[in-house]
Amino acid sequence: MSLTFAAAPKAPPDLVPVRAREVAGKVLVTNPFGDWLMMEKGDFAALNRGELDPASALFAQLAERNFIRSKIDVEKQSDRLRRKTRFLDYGPNLHICVVTLRCNETCVYCHASRADMEAVHTDMTPEIAEKTVDFMLQSTSPAVTLEFQGGEPLVNFPVMKHIIEYALVKNRAYGKELEFTMVSNMALMDEDKLAYLVDRKVQMCTSIDGPEALHTKQRVLVSGNSHREAAKWIERINKRYIEMGLDPTLYHVEALLTTTREALKYPIEIVDTYRNLGCRAIFLRPVDPFGFADKTAKRIEYDRAEYHTFYRTAVEHMLSLSRKGEEILERYAAIFLTKILGDDDPNFLDIRSPSGSGLGALAYNYDGKIFTSDEGRMMHETGDSFFQIGDVRTSKYRDVMKHETVRALVMASIRNVQPDCVSCTYAPYCGIQPEHNYRSMGSIFGRMRESTLCNVHKGIQDFLFEKLGQADPETIDILNKWTTVRPRSHFIQASAAS
């Protein structure tokens, strides 16, 4: 519940703009710098009336946390805000390359707009692959990640290999920090492919929807058992990293969950499934409206209040395991906590201001078309090309970056000018995904109070601040550890500009 200040004549003139929200019986106040404080309701009422004693301990806390204008070190706060938005000085660092739309699995929530295995015309050609790499390396970002997606990228493994080899050679002239990642269902993996991917330091990510019965029900592999295939290769890859002497808590297969209506029944079982597979980070993503998911909404969608119950139960289980010494975390929580406790922005593209659409990421379709994001590409595949901003065969990098759609998405995703967001207590930590607004509400600006994504973000932050407000030292220590960023330098390709 959001709270507002009364227009009291005694209202402290020295107070910076403050946003307030009731959380678990207390009042959370935040300021534009990202500082926060949990207050008792009576203290908040006194502050609201302008009756807070300047000699009180609470006033001293407010001053220490940059709520009192006259006590602020302006230069220090300016540097702080510049550091948090330093990603604006870069350029697109994530480059999503769809090497095929063909896929050997059928998923109830498919976001990728898959094509049947016979649809070979949806395979990227070597020519378009090279032009995609040429375009990607023009990014002004000093570090770039090329992420292979599909469909199922292993369907077009020869072109994947060609892209990797071509990019390694071309990057000698650029000297960028280059990384490769692959999102795969693993069902087409074999020892030869694995040997090549490990040798070329390709990070591997897959999807696990929970226990075998749930996973195989939602991700159908006609030729076998989708869960067993994914689990087999997760175990094999993780073992290979250990054999290479890499820290298994840092180097392991990443796995993603899409939370469907059926998944809501199994919060504990889903966490335990990930643990048993050696996955120490779980991203409890809600279902979204992209790709073909809208066609199966009657089977997979749900009220977000049910999601919050699921989320709280799953994360409470993770916290319980962490208290016993097990290393495990939830990705959404880690992103928000890095901003709340770590006082930094991890540059997660969907939860930043402005969003990463175009500015932080580009998506390249199999046919060379360029989009502001993979979500924008998905909408193109289902008939709406609003987010197409170029083509690797004909477009210049500068023209793509200055495209009117990119500019519009920037304006639509700045928190401090977005209605609802501008007065939201969580504005310092949150972000807007304009593609989600467009797909679900028909406008890149949307109406955030009606947004299911906004609802998810608020609910997660309510839970986190509830935990912080309880001030249990052991829990706070665990949440602080979730903000720790450990670089995985093994995956960075060694390359120097010639």
Write the DSSP string, 263-310.
GGG-HHHHHHHHHHTT--EEEEEEP-S-TTGGGGHHHH---HHHHHHH
Q: Is residue 25 domain-resident? A: yes
The structure tokens listed for 443 are: 């406008």
Residue 250 reports pLDDT greater than 80: yes
Indicate whether 340 and 250 sit together in one domain. yes
The rounded distance, in Å, linking the Cα atoms of 209 and 282 is 11
Q: Please, are residues 114 and 150 in contact by the beta-carbon 8 Å criterion?
A: yes
Distances in Å between the Cα of 30 and the Cα atoms of 24, 334, 351 are: 16, 19, 18
| Percent over 70 (pLDDT), the chain | 95
Indicate whether 131 and 217 sit together in one domain. yes
| Percent over 90 (pLDDT), the chain | 83
How confident is residue 291, by pLDDT bands cut at 50, 70 and 90?
low
Residue 6 reports pLDDT greater than 90: no
**Per-residue pLDDT at 3:** 63
- The torsion of the CA quartet 136, 116, 283, 448, rounded to 10 degrees, works out to 80
Indicate whether 188 and 104 sit together in one domain. yes
Residue 11 reports pLDDT greater than 80: no
Q: Please, are residues 458 and 307 in contact by the beta-carbon 8 Å criterion?
A: no
| Per-residue pLDDT reduced to its tens digit, 415-444 | 988 889 999 999 999 999 999 999 999 999
The rounded distance, in Å, linking the Cα atoms of 198 and 280 is 20
| Per-residue pLDDT reduced to its tens digit, 325-335 | 999 999 999 99
**Per-residue pLDDT at 296:** 72
Q: Please, are residues 23 and 462 in contact by the beta-carbon 8 Å criterion?
A: yes
Q: Is residue 490 domain-resident? A: no
Domain with 6, as residue range(s), is 2-84
Q: Is residue 461 domain-resident? A: no
The rounded distance, in Å, linking the Cα atoms of 376 and 64 is 43
Q: Please, are residues 83 and 33 in contact by the beta-carbon 8 Å criterion?
A: no
Residue that finishes a domain, picked among 353, 376, 399 = 376
Indicate whether 338 and 228 sit together in one domain. yes
The rounded distance, in Å, linking the Cα atoms of 145 and 94 is 5
Rg over CA atoms, the chain: 23
How confident is residue 249, by pLDDT bands cut at 50, 70 and 90?
confident
**Per-residue pLDDT at 280:** 87
| Per-residue pLDDT reduced to its tens digit, 36-94 | 999 999 999 999 888 888 899 999 999 999 999 999 999 999 999 999 999 999 999 99
- Count Cα neighbours of 223 within 13 Å in the Cβ-side half-sphere: 8
Q: Is residue 471 domain-resident? A: no
**Per-residue pLDDT at 289:** 85
The structure tokens listed for 172 are: 């000698």
The structure tokens listed for 200 are: 């070329």
Helical residues (DSSP H) of 65-209, grouped into ranges: 74-84, 126-136, 157-170, 191-199
The rounded distance, in Å, linking the Cα atoms of 429 and 353 is 9
Q: Is residue 235 domain-resident? A: yes
Task: For the beta carbon of residue 340, count every other beta carbon within 10 angstroms.
Answer: 22
How confident is residue 228, by pLDDT bands cut at 50, 70 and 90?
very high
Domain count, the chain: 2
Task: For the beta carbon of residue 492, count every other beta carbon within 10 angstroms.
Answer: 15
Question: Average pLDDT of 2-27?
Answer: 74
Q: Give burial (CB, 10 Å; 0-12/13-18/19+) of 275.
A: middle
Indicate whether 148 and 230 sit together in one domain. yes
**Per-residue pLDDT at 479:** 97
Collect all residues with Cβ–Cβ distance below 8 Å to 86 and sequence separation of at least 6. Answer: none
Question: Average pLDDT of 143-169?
Answer: 97
* Length of the chain (residues): 498
Amino acid at 290: F
Distances in Å between the Cα of 131 and the Cα atoms of 338, 368, 393 are: 37, 8, 7
Residue that finishes a domain, picked among 376, 407, 435 = 376
| Per-residue pLDDT reduced to its tens digit, 178-202 | 999 999 999 999 999 999 999 999 9
Indicate whether 177 and 43 sit together in one domain. no
| Per-residue pLDDT reduced to its tens digit, 149-159 | 999 999 999 99
Sheet of 94-98: strand order equals: 329-330, 281-286, 254-259, 202-207, 177-183, 143-149, 94-98, 361-364, 369-371, 388-391
The rounded distance, in Å, linking the Cα atoms of 73 and 33 is 12
Q: Is residue 436 domain-resident? A: no
Comparing 169 with 254, which gets the higher pLDDT?
Answer: 169
SS3 of 484, please?
Answer: coil
| Per-residue pLDDT reduced to its tens digit, 438-464 | 999 999 999 999 999 999 999 999 999
Q: Please, are residues 398 and 373 in contact by the beta-carbon 8 Å criterion?
A: no
Residue that finishes a domain, picked among 351, 376, 401 = 376
Closest by Cα among 230, 104, 99, 101 to 164: 99
| Per-residue pLDDT reduced to its tens digit, 119-136 | 999 999 999 999 999 999
Indicate whether 250 and 289 sit together in one domain. yes
Indicate whether 65 and 112 sit together in one domain. no
Indicate whether 187 and 214 sit together in one domain. yes
Comparing 40 with 290, which gets the higher pLDDT?
Answer: 40
Q: Is residue 257 domain-resident? A: yes
Q: Is residue 179 domain-resident? A: yes
Indicate whether 255 and 328 sit together in one domain. yes
Element (H, E) at 61: helix 57-64
Collect all residues with Cβ–Cβ distance below 8 Å to 342 and sequence separation of at least 6. Answer: 483
Residue 34 reports pLDDT greater than 90: yes
Indicate whether 65 and 132 sit together in one domain. no
Here the CATH number for the domain that contains residue 294 is 3.20.20.70
Question: Average pLDDT of 135-161?
Answer: 97
Strand 202-207 relative to strand 105-107, pairing: unpaired
**Per-residue pLDDT at 9:** 41
Residue 223 reports pLDDT greater than 90: no
| Per-residue pLDDT reduced to its tens digit, 366-412 | 999 999 999 999 999 889 999 999 999 999 999 999 999 999 999 99
- The torsion of the CA quartet 100, 488, 279, 271, rounded to 10 degrees, works out to -100
The structure tokens listed for 332 are: 């959404």
Indicate whether 145 and 194 sit together in one domain. yes
